[in-house]
Amino acid sequence: MSEKTIDHTAEVLIVGAGPVGLTLANLLGGYGVSVVLVEARTELIDYPRGVGMDDESFRTIQTMGLVDTVSQHTVPHHIMRLVNGRGQVLVTNDPATDEFGWPRKHGFVQPLVDRELLAGLDRFDAVTVRMGTELIDLTEQPDGVVARVRSGEAETEIRTRYVVGCEGGRSFTRSHLGAEFEGLSPSTRWVVVDIENDPLGTPNVYLGADPRRPYVSIGLPHGIRRFEFMLFDDEPTDLVDDEAFMASLLRPHLPNPHGLEVIGQRVFTHHGRIASTFRRGRILIAGDAAHLMPVWLGQGWNSGIRDATNLAWKLTSVLRGLCDDTLLDTYDAERRDHAKAMIDLNMIAGSVMTARGAKARVRDLAARAVTRVPSLRDWLTDMRFKPMPRYRRGVVVDQGDLLPGTCEDTVRNRFFAQVDAPNKVSPVGVQFIQPRVSTVTADDVLLDDVSGPWWSVVAWGNDPRRLFDDRELRVLDRLGVHLLAVFPESQFEWAQREYAGSSTTIVSDTRGRLKSWFDDRAVGVVFLRPDRFIAATCLAQQAPQTVTALLSAMSATDAVRTDTGRTRTGSTDVPVTIGGSR
């Protein structure tokens, strides 16, 4: 080691300061994990990139406590219209739901949001960012990984427990894993142009399925207009440097295609690929390093944020001795299927968008027929065609038989309550709703701001502390679980008096949305993971058995399962400092 020095140690090394690496670093920093984030570039990427943020991703922004700084670069309720070559609207995508606490779609300017994510890391003493630092080698050891990095001419080594590669499609980390990158890369190239001082000045989003030349026109925050145009096979990429050619692309869309204030212009080729594995030992990959997808439905950025949200709490749980290393296997098991489903959907959307000739005429006829059927029209408008993440394997417990590690879509009937429940679809493995609620100390706030960014148990009409014995409560305490009891607003003051001596947080369901959720299902208790997905649900009397099954599903250590060992979480071993929508 005479020519190299070990200049840093960290629990997690993150490679790549794109949105996924920055999100993962913010979440881990909030959990008190020591992180080194390295980025080969000397500055963040500032050219045109992602423009669509889902409500799920905005919920993660909320968990990071960055809503105020990020929201200034967003436009909520981004309405998208698919139009044909004659300007006829084929499909309007205008979801009105806010089940996760935020509008379903936001337009955003990625370089500006990335800067806010980077600035957010200044809050954490345990997070170090090293720009202009390239990963060049990884050496795996029994108790960690030694990463060799280069900054300028100097090479140094970083010792770490885990490495997460978030460095994009050409990921060194994925290559080190030996993972195959399976899928397709359509030959179509698109030129993307971002223009300041929006020459249209409207908030519209149009996907132009024009057989003459497919295009995209998007109104973005801060008076920015994005245009995207497909390039044909006989058009060389360097043609976009010709001002006359670019003016010819813009002329059908603008009163004057000249003298525009262009922020950035690049040519992209769409890809649809997924890595054969997201993990090997202490090395993992996320975001574009793990999967690439065409941009049609704006899911590349959002899928990467889902990866980071899934992985952050699992790494923290292993590093704090709450769970065995096998918990990290569930990251691949949970995220791969949904990422693949999103790739497939985007590939289909691309084929619809770029159809020509007879295919385009069939598409237009089919779209008009579909929009005449209210149920199908609503299915498109509300984005129900987009597969929501549903984890059927991993940190889940089947509601019917309490089997750990897997869950069925439909609840098998065991009790009359399950037979009588209107909704027979199991809620396990999907995100829990986030309505506005009130507590003794907070009025009209989002539920996540009450439950906090770690594990929680939510019970309807019961103090969950009364559902467990002392040993079970000690187990939940070691895991850092926050207990919540939800009551209708009419019972709120009574519940405060009745449970005055309890450490449970009493929640007032001021808008009745939690009651509607519980009323529709044979569920009295919900076990919520830190990523807001439902790990388990049960009737009140089943709560103790459900804890046992959940401990198995999450690979909890013996120290957590028993009364031996010090693994207490909360404000000590897992200093959860992030969270809150403001």
Q: What are phi and psi of 6, to 5 degrees?
A: -90, 105
Other C-beta atoms closer than 10 Å to the C-beta of 92 total 14
Q: Average the pLDDT over each of 88-97, 288-297, 415-424 and give the range with the smallest value.
A: 415-424
Rounded CA separation 391/338 (Å): 8
Residue-level length of the chain? 582
Residue type, 408: E
Cβ atoms 328, 377 nearer than 8 A: no
In a domain, 480, yes or no: yes
In a domain, 574, yes or no: no
- Return the CATH number at 98: 3.30.9.10
In a domain, 341, yes or no: yes
Instruction: For residue range 98-128, list pLDDT tens digits in order.
Output: 889 999 889 999 999 999 999 999 999 999 9
Higher per-residue pLDDT: 372 or 107 = 107
Which residue in this structure is represented by tokens 């804890």? 547
Higher per-residue pLDDT: 96 or 246 = 246
**Same structural domain, 413 and 544:** yes
Cβ atoms 458, 526 nearer than 8 A: yes
pLDDT higher than 60, residue 479: yes
- The per-residue pLDDT for 365 is 62
Closest CA to 480 of 500, 509, 460, 451: 451
Per-residue pLDDT band for 211 (boundaries 50, 70, 90) equals confident
- The per-residue pLDDT for 352 is 61
**Same structural domain, 312 and 411:** no
Domain stop point among 333, 354, 375: 354
What number of CA atoms fall less than 13 Å from residue 26's CA on the CB side? Answer: 28
**Same structural domain, 134 and 223:** no
Mapped onto helix, strand or coil, the DSSP state of residue 550 is: helix
Closest CA to 581 of 60, 47, 18: 60
Rounded CA separation 35/124 (Å): 10
Residue type, 476: L
Per-residue pLDDT band for 567 (boundaries 50, 70, 90) equals very low
Q: What are phi and psi of 412, to 5 degrees?
A: -80, 130
**Same structural domain, 66 and 78:** no
Rounded CA separation 29/22 (Å): 10
Domain stop point among 388, 406, 440: 388
In a domain, 567, yes or no: no
Q: What are phi and psi of 341, to 5 degrees?
A: -65, -40
- The per-residue pLDDT for 95 is 78
**Same structural domain, 205 and 296:** no
Sequence-ordered strand ranges (E) for 372-414: 393-397, 404-406
- The per-residue pLDDT for 29 is 97
Rounded CA separation 95/72 (Å): 21
Rounded CA separation 264/59 (Å): 29
Structure tokens at 317: 């749980």
556: DSSP letter? B
348: DSSP letter? H
Per-residue pLDDT band for 571 (boundaries 50, 70, 90) equals very low
Name the pairing type of β-strands 525-528 and 127-131.
Answer: unpaired
pLDDT higher than 80, residue 469: yes
Bridge partners of 135, per DSSP, are 149
**Same structural domain, 403 and 538:** yes
Percentage of the chain lying above the pLDDT 70 cut: 84
In a domain, 245, yes or no: yes
**Same structural domain, 150 and 55:** yes
pLDDT higher than 60, residue 72: yes
Highest mean pLDDT (candidates 63-72, 257-266, 291-300): 63-72
Average pLDDT on 20-27 reads 98
How far, rounded to the nearest angstrom, does the alpha carbon of residue 201 sit from its chain's CA centroid? 30
In a domain, 568, yes or no: no
Domain span at 90: 74-104+187-269+355-388
Report CA torsion sign: 516, 76, 23, 28. Answer: negative
Per-residue pLDDT band for 419 (boundaries 50, 70, 90) equals low
Average pLDDT on 305-318 reads 97
Q: Average the pLDDT over each of 369-383, 412-426, 483-497 and give the range with the smallest value.
A: 369-383
Report CA torsion sign: 128, 126, 316, 12. Answer: positive
Structure tokens at 456: 């929680």
Bridge partners of 206, per DSSP, are 81, 217
**Same structural domain, 382 and 345:** no
Per-residue pLDDT band for 15 (boundaries 50, 70, 90) equals very high
Cβ atoms 383, 95 nearer than 8 A: yes
**Same structural domain, 176 and 198:** no
- Return the CATH number at 290: 3.50.50.60
What contacts 43, CB < 8 A, 6 or more positions away? 131
- The per-residue pLDDT for 533 is 97
Residue type, 566: R
- Return the CATH number at 552: 3.40.30.10
Per-residue pLDDT band for 359 (boundaries 50, 70, 90) equals low
Cβ atoms 298, 51 nearer than 8 A: yes
In a domain, 578, yes or no: no
Instruction: For residue range 514-534, list pLDDT tens digits in order.
Output: 999 999 988 999 999 999 999
In a domain, 572, yes or no: no
What contacts 428, CB < 8 A, 6 or more positions away? 396, 397, 398, 399, 407, 534, 535, 536, 537
Structure tokens at 27: 């979440």
Closest CA to 162 of 382, 14, 294: 14
Residue type, 375: S
Rounded to two decimals, the pTM is 0.90
Q: Average the pLDDT over each of 179-193, 223-237, 354-368, 541-555 and give the range with the smallest value.
A: 354-368
Average pLDDT on 491-515 reads 93
Mapped onto helix, strand or coil, the DSSP state of residue 279 is: strand
Residue type, 203: P
- Per-residue three-class SS string for 442-480: CCCEEHHHHHCCCCEEEEECCCHHHHCCHHHHHHHHHCC
Closest CA to 30 of 47, 12, 48: 12
Q: How many domains does the chain have?
A: 3
Cβ atoms 46, 113 nearer than 8 A: no
**Same structural domain, 552 and 529:** yes
Per-residue pLDDT band for 80 (boundaries 50, 70, 90) equals confident
**Same structural domain, 530 and 466:** yes
**Same structural domain, 515 and 419:** yes
Higher per-residue pLDDT: 301 or 186 = 301
Rounded to the nearest 10 degrees, the angle between the axes of helix 299-319 and helix 19-30 is 30
- The per-residue pLDDT for 582 is 35
What contacts 532, CB < 8 A, 6 or more positions away? 59, 63, 100, 431, 432, 434, 448
Cβ atoms 293, 299 nearer than 8 A: yes
Per-residue pLDDT band for 144 (boundaries 50, 70, 90) equals very high
